[in-house]
Every structure is written in C-alpha cells, then in structure tokens.
Structure 1
Amino acid sequence: MADQPNPQGAGALKIAHLAKRGVLLVLGPLNFLFIAFVPLLCVRRAGFRGWYWRLVKRACSRLLWLLSIRVEMSEAHKRALGDDTGSLIVINHLSHLDGFTLMDVVPDKKWFTFAAKKELCDAALLRTGFTGAGLVEIDRSNGKVALETLTQAVRDMPERRSVVLFAEGTRTNTETLGEFKAGAVLVARETGRSIRPIVILDSDRLLPRGKFFPHSGTVRIEVLPPFECDLTATVDEDVARLRQEMIAVFDRR
C-alpha cells in the first residue's frame, strides 16, 4: 500500500520554513552590516584576508540555510576543487545565487575571489571589504585596461588562489549556455594558468530573473577537469572548446 501523505509533517516543515524566513528578515541586514564593517576595523591585521574569507564563506552558508537552499556537490568534486592550484575558475551565470552557492561548497583550503564590475566598489562601505578580500575590480568601459588589470591580478595571486570569472559575462535566459567571453582564455594564455570549469545547475529555477526572493530547493554544482589552452589554436577555437565541454554537462540536467 502506498504511503499516505502526512499533513502534520508537511505542516511542521512549512512552519520551520516560515520561521527561517522570519529570522532572515530580522538578522539578514545585521549580518550584512557586520560583514561590511569588519574590514573597516580589521583590514590591516596580519592574516586578515584568510580569516575574512572564512567569515564570508560561513555567512553565505548561513544565508542559504535560512533560505532553505541546499547545495549539492559530490565528494570527488570537492576533493578536486580543494586540491586545485594554478587555475582560473570559470562558471556559468544563471542567477544571483551562483556566487553564494559556490562559496558554500568550496573546501576551506581552496581560496578564490571574484572579478566584478568596478561599479560594485563605488560605495565606500563596500569598497574596503571588497578590496580587503581581494576582489578584482574590472572597468568594463575599457576592454584593454580591464584585461590588463585582470591579467596582473592573476599573476600576483598565489598558486592556491583563483579568480572566478563568469563565462558569459552576465546572467543568461537561454535553455543552454550563452556565448562565452574570451577574457578567461586570454588571461590563461597570458599567465600560463589552466582553467577550472565549474557548471552550476538549477539556480535559475530557484531565483528567476526579475524575482527578489528565492524559492527553497537544491542547486547542483559540478567541477570539470582542468582545461588547458591550446597555443597552436586560435583564441576563438579555445573559447568554443571550453564552451562545448561545459555545455555537455549543463545540457544533461
């Protein structure tokens, strides 16, 4: 005989879900202010970047828990990401949840930072934290300067640290991956680093474009083998090959 629905169990889950949302509305802004103000007081302390990285990572995990969002990554993929060195990380971009979900599952021993548009750092309160955490500011109004800035930032990074680049440059609304920008391939060729592709799945279903508050659910993340640029091929050929490797994973969802 098939199991019967359990109204009491469903009701308890709904109450727990609503309670989490209530806590988020009350404590979420306080948590954000705490993360933002810590660098103003501590940015010059020895080892700041290391412990601030872990602080932000834990904050992302707490946020997702309060939103009832789970992130799934296999243990093999976690080990591969934890052992990763000398790479750029390239991910697809489906929703505003993507950065939070990646921060939630990355092992502590693997550090990364994000490349982000310069406008995000215009607010004085955010600039100190972003700069202290190693965020790479990109001036998108000047492609040549942006590429030079990113390349130098990658050259200066320790082997264990990676910069995360969004392959498509922005969120996409398609059923498959959008067209890739060439920036990651150009920087990888210039610096000699490999590319570590990571595919994020289902975050757009939880937080579609134009929505402010996400649904609860599960986001899956898959880590692909390192991608090595082929210096005998053109940049466009490398970009196309990278995109096809990520599409092969994305389209299985």
Structure 2
Amino acid sequence: MENTSGPPPQAPTPIDPWIVRLPKRIVLVILGPIYFLLISFAPALCARRKGFRGWYWRTVKRSCSRLLWLLSIKADMTDAEKDMLAQDTNSIIVINHRSHLDGFTLMDTIPDEKWFTFAAKKELFDAKLLRTGFLGAGLVEIDRKSGKVAMETLSASVGDMPARRSVVLFPEGTRTKTESLGPFKAGAVLVARETGRSIRPIVIHDSDRLLPRGRFLPLSGTIRVEVLTSFHCDPEVSVDEDVERLRNAMIAAFDKA
C-alpha cells in the first residue's frame, strides 16, 4: 500500500521577491483572460490554414512560458535532457501527474525540435467550436466510455503520426494523492506494443509543492523536469509486468530527488 501521509513538505524557495511577484500577478489578472481567449479561439479561425499546427503549438508553448514567468515559476530541464528530447523519435511520452502546473511545465521545457500532442476526452470535442480547434491542433480524441474503443483510436492515431511526433499520456490517469507515484494504467504500454514505439518517461518534481490540491494561486519556486532513458516493452513478458517495470523506473527517479 502506498504511503499517503508523512511530514509536511518544506516550503519552496521563491525565485522572485514579493515586490516583483506582486506586479507580475496584477499583470496576469488583467491580461491573462484576454490572452487565454485569443489562444482558445485562434484555432476556430485559422485551423484550416496551411502550417497552422506548427505555428499554433509554438504559440501555445510561448504562452505557457509567459504564464510561468508571470507566476514566478521556473521550469528546469538540463541541456543534455533537452538534446535527448530534440533527437527523440518513434516514441510515446509518459509523465507523472502532481498538479495542474504539469502540462504548462512540460510545454515550457520541451524543445521546439520535438513535436508532440495530447490525448483529450471525447466530451471536449462535442462542441463544434472546440472540435475544430482541437482537430486542427492535432489532439487525439479518446472515448473513455469504452476502453477497447479508446485503445483502438489511440493506437491508430499514434500509428499514423510521423516518427518525430509523440503523444503525451499521463499513466496515473489523474493527479495522485500519494507521496510517490500512483498506480499506472496500461494504456501507454498497450499502445507502444501495438505500434512498435518506445516509451519516453518524463518525471516532474515539486509541482505539487507549488500548487497543492485546494490552492488556487501557485507559490513561486522551481519545478524540475527530468527526462529518463527510453523504455522498451518486452514482448516476452505480460503487459502488467511491463507496466510495473515502467512505473518502477519512474519511481526510482522520483524518489531519489
């Protein structure tokens, strides 16, 4: 059983003094909603234009970087790890899920040379406006009501992707409440086996210290994003054994920090 209790985590070290953080927060409150609407509605107007997808993802990445800067949050990834991702091909990216900051942090740190997309639940595609944007941006539509259909859709989408592009999956499925990583779902391993791709594990450290459950505004501090070596499924063992082996590799990196 996972340990869900323990001593309270040490408060993160702010990267900016309060006299700098305050005006940043004011700018975010004033301009943030306008910027968010522009990013959200741009696909509805431009999704069918040639080259939209590349332009849009770069714009979203820059937006995430600006958001973290305004929140006085630094996302840290080593140059060697960025080079590893820039050269990464024919993979599926899996990351642990600690807080609502995880997606923004990942977007900020992944180099432009690495193409990627996310899987999104089918319900988000039901609204015509969102559907146009999501499909134009290359998000993968997943029907979570049927596990079999979801896996078939995901495998087909990954199989059609160029080797340079990876889909990002959260194997825990939701933000974990445990001190370490939560149980993993088998989706990433199943898709990797089906498509012949490797898995690129990425471990996020300390995002829950900056934005724990129940907190609206995050604290200032640093989030470490650690890129691990490629994980290759073993066809000689069961899916559950591969899932556990992947989880153990990510736990070893997470717990040593």
Structure-2 residue corresponding to 1:151:
155
Structure 2 matches for 1:91-106, cutoff 5 A? 91-106=95-110
Aligned match of 2:85 in 59, 62, 81?
81
Instruction: Kindly state the Cα deviation for residue 123 of structure 1 after the two structures are TM-superposed.
Output: 4.0
Q: Using the alignment, how far apart are the partners of 1:123 and 1:36 within structure 2?
A: 13
Structure-2 residue corresponding to 1:177:
181
Runs of 4+ in structure 1 displaced over 6 angstroms? none
Partner-residue secondary structure (3-state), 2:118: strand
Instruction: Kindly state the Cα deviation for residue 133 of structure 1 after the two structures are TM-superposed.
Output: 1.1
Q: Is the 8 A contact 1:113 1:135 kept in 2?
A: yes
Give TM-score, length-normalised by structure 2. 0.92
Q: Using the alignment, how far apart are the partners of 1:27 and 1:152 within structure 2?
A: 39
Q: Is the 8 A contact 2:44 2:130 kept in 1?
A: no
Structure-1 residue corresponding to 2:198:
194
Q: Deviations over 1:87-126 (max 9, x none)?
A: 0001000111101000001110101111122233344443
Partner-residue secondary structure (3-state), 1:116: strand
Given the alignment of the two structures, is residue 141 of structure 1 paired with residue 141 of structure 2, yes or no?
no
Which deviates more from structure 2 when the two are superposed, residues 208-217 or residues 22-31? 208-217
- Cα RMSD of the aligned pairs, angstroms, is 1.3
Q: Using the alignment, how far apart are the partners of 2:214 and 2:123 within structure 1?
A: 20
Q: Is the 8 A contact 2:118 2:168 kept in 1?
A: yes
Which deviates more from structure 2 when the two are superposed, residues 136-145 or residues 122-131? 122-131
Compared with structure 1, are the counterparts of its residues 122 and 212 closer, same or farther at alpha carbon in structure 2 (3 Å cutoff)? Answer: farther
Which deviates more from structure 2 when the two are superposed, residues 221-230 or residues 112-121? 112-121
Given the alignment of the two structures, is residue 209 of structure 1 paired with residue 194 of structure 2, yes or no?
no
Q: Is the 8 A contact 1:36 1:125 kept in 2?
A: no
Q: Using the alignment, how far apart are the partners of 1:128 and 1:56 within structure 2?
A: 16
Structure-2 residue corresponding to 1:5:
none
Q: Is the 8 A contact 1:115 1:136 kept in 2?
A: yes
Q: Is the 8 A contact 2:44 2:133 kept in 1?
A: yes
Aligned match of 1:235 in 225, 236, 239?
239
Q: Is the 8 A contact 1:89 1:197 kept in 2?
A: yes
Q: Using the alignment, how far apart are the partners of 2:198 and 2:122 within structure 1?
A: 25
Q: Using the alignment, how far apart are the partners of 1:215 and 1:37 within structure 2?
A: 29
What amino acid is the match of 2:35?
Answer: N
Q: Using the alignment, how far apart are the partners of 1:121 and 1:215 within structure 2?
A: 33
What amino acid is the match of 1:151?
Answer: S
5+ residue gaps, structure 2, are: 1-13
